[in-house]
Amino acid sequence: MENLIALLIAAPLLGAVVLLCGGRRLDKTGHWLGTLLAAVSFGIGVVLFADMLGRGADDRTLTQNLYTWIPVEGFQADMAFQLDQLSMTFVLLISGVGTLIHVYSIGYMEHDERRRRFFGYLNLFVAAMLLLVLADNYLLLYFGWEGVGLASYLLIGFWQHKPSAATAAKKAFLVNRVGDMGLSIAIMLMFTTFGTFAFGPVFGAVGEASEGKLTAIGLMLLLAACGKSAQVPLQSWLGDAMEGPTPVSALIHAATMVTAGVYLIVRSAAVFNGAPDAQLVVTVVGAVTLLFGAIVGCAKDDIKKALAGSTMSQIGYMILAAGLGPIGYVFAIMHLVTHGFFKAGLFLGAGSVMHGMNDEVDMRKYGGLRKYMPVTFVTFGLGYLAIIGFPGLSGFFSKDMIIEAAFAKGGTEGWILGGVTLLGAGITAFYMTRVMLLTFFGEKRWQPTASDSGSAAGSGHEPHPHESPKSMTVPMVILAFGSVFAGAFFEIGERFLKWLEPVTGYSHGNPPVSAMTVTAATMVMLLVGVGIAWAMYGKRPVPVVAPRGSFLTRAARRDLYQDDFNHVVLVRGGEHLTRSLVYVDHSLVDGVVNGTAASVGGLSGRLRKLQNGYARSYAVSMFGGTAILIAATLLMRAV
Amino acid sequence: MNPVNYLYLAALLFTIGATGVLIRKNAIVLFMCVELMLNACNLAFVAFSRMHGNLDGQIIAFFTMVVAAAEVVVGLAIIVSLFRTRHSASVDDASLMKL
């Protein structure tokens, strides 16, 4: 059975190689090949899953060692895979949602002449992401980590003829690089501390390392997670990443890649369990991002950017849960999976709306679309109910668990974190209701103006909203099913908890308030959020041009000045630093070098005059020199 | 006769030669002055040989004569070819090899 693990990765990798090297003769069939190979990967995943279920809870981990990747004495890196319950969850999510999004892309990218290449990149992403979650050591994980970064860069900048897309891709790549730096430092620290970076030996030796070392490793891992999962302070790239095609936003920037940071922290549970300070920082980062993303999501008029803010916020929930330790690991992953369903579904719905509206992304120019796109409306609506935590849907269970776990942390911390998660739930309800109302309800507000999004379709005529083709709606329906039932399925009989507990561990904590109270409070927050949104956007007509808004709205529209902050502190600061370094280089370093050269040159220019070409003047110096030598010799003798 | 007088003569001849080398322009004269200096040295060698009563100085004088003969052959050839190309035997005119 374990020999199948490599095939999980090999299938999409083969697709990427064939599609990217195959040339134009694959233009007609390439997308089918890409989709098929993603589906093959999912099929193998299901087979392995069934096999895993057939074995006892302690006997479920499979390993496969392909070959020794870096065979250096004292530095052994294996091309080895480890498939346990945690990896399995990710494998099914990545290949399953990935396959659905491949199917969706067939319809979405139908008119794009570079569709073959798009599928090649998607396959490359799936392969790299599977490598990331299947690796059995940190170095191989790093390989996959960089691979998804590359795929993300290529796909954000897929429409590279748009300067905004090219810039966004570059920004995502650069910001991610800061995080990757953290991961590489963490690996080096592990190597110097434990002498290895394979999962098993590192986690086994955690007890021998000092807490300071573990905290350092944990913080570096957190930096890596911040970069990949768009957490404060490395969050600025995610909003711009929405320049990519919508299926990319759904797969990479909502369901899978951005959750890699959560995977990293949960996978390194042993390290974090030994470093309470690092855990505290993790929860703080999660809590800050949770509110940050939610506030940004409230003000955006671009439907994809509003969803991006929401993604940031939901991943904040997961990071916060992961920082809680054994109380929260399972729920972080559970929310990750349900979020994978409903957020991918929401993004696909947004893509479907854009598909019908000439690629218009401004929600103020939508309105009343429920009549024109019934399937999109229903699936998006179910995703909406799931994310705000409507009772019975998947988001309700997973988010509720995180809020309870936050309270169960205990002490003042627990109250603060619990309060933040509750507040976040209210804001989530507000901004998602706003998206829903602006898009599907109210009067139609679209106009016969050319869309300024630079698309070829915006040729100046009035958009005719229409339902998307089957290849797009079917994946949306399947994801909507997941959004509705996944939470309940996981929660009945605590299936998900029992499934993951052997890997991540679990402790119940001691919640200061009962689960019922938390649920009731969440419901109140939900109703308040929905109510405010209804009062602001449902009862009153929505202006097509955004009003100026309050200070907070304006700040949130500009992503709470994150780019301005980065610009002033990092870009300007960097410029000043480089300028002063250049000045020092010019004045000091060059001064010394040029000064030496100039003085040697001047001296030799003077000495050159002695070489006048007159043989007799040379003779004079010879005679003079000899005379001096003789005089000196005689003098020495006399003394 | 006191052999020291020969030494005085040798010093005088050497000085005349050296002065000639420094102040004359004509390459032939300059060359003769060099020969004068060499022979002043030979005279000094022979005089010392006589004073100290051993033959080393006289043998060295023969060596010097052989080297001087070889030098004359090469030196005169250079001066002649220099004169052929530049129509002048002045050493100050041959000052091309400078920066």
pLDDT band at A216 (very low <50, low <70, confident <90, very high): very high
Neighbours of A216 (CB within 10 A): 19
pLDDT tens, residue by residue, A143-176: 999 999 999 999 999 999 999 999 999 999 999 9
Preceding peptide of A233 cis, ω within 30°: yes
How many angstroms separate the CA of residue A603 from the nearest CA in chain B?
15
Q: Give the whole-angstrom CA distance, residue A401 versus residue A515.
A: 9
* Domains of chain B, residue spans: 1-86
pLDDT tens, residue by residue, A232-253: 889 999 999 999 999 999 999 9
Contact A339, A314 (CB under 8 A): yes
pLDDT band at A72 (very low <50, low <70, confident <90, very high): confident
C-alpha distances in angstroms, A405 versus A85, A267, A269, A323, A415?
A: 21, 19, 16, 11, 11
Count of residues in chain B:
99
pLDDT band at A411 (very low <50, low <70, confident <90, very high): confident
Q: What is the 8-class DSSP label of residue A362? A: B
pLDDT at A367: 85
Angle at A464 between CA A458 and CA A467, to 5 degrees: 115
pLDDT at A594: 93
A623 and B99: CB-CB below 8 Å? no
B71, containing H or E segment? helix B56-86
Q: Give the whole-angstrom CA distance, residue A316 versus residue A427.
A: 13
Contact A332, A231 (CB under 8 A): no
A614 and B97: CB-CB below 8 Å? no
Residue with the bigger pLDDT between B1 and A630: it is: A630
Residue A57: partners with Cβ closer than 8 Å, 6 or more residues away: A498, A502
Contact list in B for residue A612 (CB cut-off 8 A) is 95, 98
pLDDT at A448: 66
pLDDT at A453: 47
Note whether B85 contacts A: Cβ–Cβ < 8 A.
no
B91 and A614: CB-CB below 8 Å? yes
Q: Is A367 left (phi over 0), alpha (psi -120 to 50) or beta?
A: left
Q: Give the whole-angstrom CA distance, residue A61 versus residue A84.
A: 4
pLDDT at A461: 60
Q: Give the whole-angstrom CA distance, residue B81 versus residue A269.
A: 95
How many angstroms separate the CA of residue B60 from the nearest CA in chain A?
21
Q: Give the whole-angstrom CA distance, residue A80 versus residue A65.
A: 4
pLDDT band at A449 (very low <50, low <70, confident <90, very high): low
Contact A385, A325 (CB under 8 A): no
A613 and B97: CB-CB below 8 Å? yes
Encode A396-432: b = buried (16+ Cβ within 10 Å), e = exposed: bbbbbbbbbbbbbbeeeebeebbebbbbbbbbbbbbb
B98 and A613: CB-CB below 8 Å? yes
Q: Which of A608, A613, A620 sits opposite B95 (nearest CB)?
A: A613
Count Cα neighbours of A393 within 13 Å in the Cβ-side half-sphere.
Answer: 21
Mean pLDDT of B1-6: 86
A511, containing H or E segment? none
Count of residues in chain A:
639
Residue A590: partners with Cβ closer than 8 Å, 6 or more residues away: none
Q: Give the whole-angstrom CA distance, residue A368 versus residue A377.
A: 10
Contact list in A for residue B99 (CB cut-off 8 A) is 608, 611
Note whether B28 contacts A: Cβ–Cβ < 8 A.
no
3-state helix, strand, coil in chain B (%, to 5): 80, 0, 20
Longest CA–CA separation in chain A, Å: 122
Contact list in A for residue B92 (CB cut-off 8 A) is 614-616
What pTM was computed for the model?
A: 0.80
Backbone angles phi, psi at A230, to 5 degrees: 55, 50
What's the gap between Cα A546 and its chain centre? 30
A616 and B91: CB-CB below 8 Å? yes
Note whether B82 contacts A: Cβ–Cβ < 8 A.
no
In CATH terms, B1-86 corresponds, of 3.90.25.10, 1.10.287.3510, 3.90.1150.110, 3.40.50.720, to 1.10.287.3510
A585, containing H or E segment? none
Helix (H, G, I), strand (E, B) or coil at A388: helix
pLDDT at A548: 80
Q: Give the whole-angstrom CA distance, residue A401 versus residue A519.
A: 9
Contact list in B for residue A615 (CB cut-off 8 A) is 91-92, 94-95
Contact A155, A120 (CB under 8 A): no
How many residue pairs bridge chain A and chain B with CB atoms within 8 Å of each other? 27
pLDDT tens, residue by residue, A454-466: 444 444 567 788 8
Q: Give the whole-angstrom CA distance, residue A415 versus residue A25.
A: 61
C-alpha distances in angstroms, B49 versus A408, B36, B58, B59?
A: 117, 20, 6, 9
Share of chain B above pLDDT 70, in %: 97
Mean pLDDT of A99-103: 94
Q: For residue A339, what are its two tokens?
A: 């979020």
Q: For residue B89, what are its two tokens?
A: 């035997």
C-alpha distances in angstroms, A175 versus A153, A180, A257, A320, A559?
A: 11, 9, 15, 21, 16
Count Cα neighbours of A340 within 13 Å in the Cβ-side half-sphere.
Answer: 27
Contact list in A for residue B97 (CB cut-off 8 A) is 613
Q: Give the whole-angstrom CA distance, residue A204 versus residue A318.
A: 25
Q: How far apart are the first and last CA of chain B?
A: 54
Q: Give the whole-angstrom CA distance, residue A150 versus residue A440.
A: 36
Q: For residue A163, what are its two tokens?
A: 């300067």
Contact A434, A298 (CB under 8 A): yes
Sign for the pseudo-dihedral over CA of A350, A355, A361, A362: negative
SS (H, E, C) A80-137: EEEECHHHHHHHHHHHHHHHHHHHHHHHHCCCCCCHHHHHHHHHHHHHHHHHHHHECE
pLDDT at B98: 65
| Residues of chain A that touch chain B, judged by Cβ-Cβ distance less than 8 Å | 608, 611-616, 619-620, 623
A614 and B95: CB-CB below 8 Å? yes
A612 and B98: CB-CB below 8 Å? yes
- Does B13 have pLDDT greater than 50? yes
Residue entry with tokens 């370094």: A581
Q: For residue A158, what are its two tokens?
A: 């897929």
- Does A417 have pLDDT greater than 50? yes
pLDDT tens, residue by residue, A264-294: 999 999 999 999 999 999 999 999 999 999 9
- Does A576 have pLDDT greater than 70? yes
Closest CA to A103 of A21, A14, A42, A44: A42
A616 and B21: CB-CB below 8 Å? yes
Sign for the pseudo-dihedral over CA of A350, A356, A359, A360: negative
Angle at A402 between CA A400 and CA A407, to 5 degrees: 100
Neighbours of A623 (CB within 10 A): 14
Q: Give the whole-angstrom CA distance, residue A344 versus residue A353.
A: 14
pLDDT tens, residue by residue, A301-350: 999 999 999 999 999 999 999 999 999 999 999 999 999 999 999 999 99
Contact A323, A288 (CB under 8 A): no
Mean of all residue pLDDT scores within chain A: 90
Contact list in A for residue B21 (CB cut-off 8 A) is 616, 619
ipTM of the complex: 0.83
Closest CA to A359 of A283, A444, A459, A285: A459
Burial (CB count within 10 angstroms: exposed 0-12, middle 13-18, buried 19+), residue A95 = buried
Q: Give the whole-angstrom CA distance, residue A549 versus residue B13.
A: 112
Q: How far apart are the first and last CA of chain A?
A: 100
For residue A618, what is the nearest residue in chain B, using CA coordinates?
Answer: B22
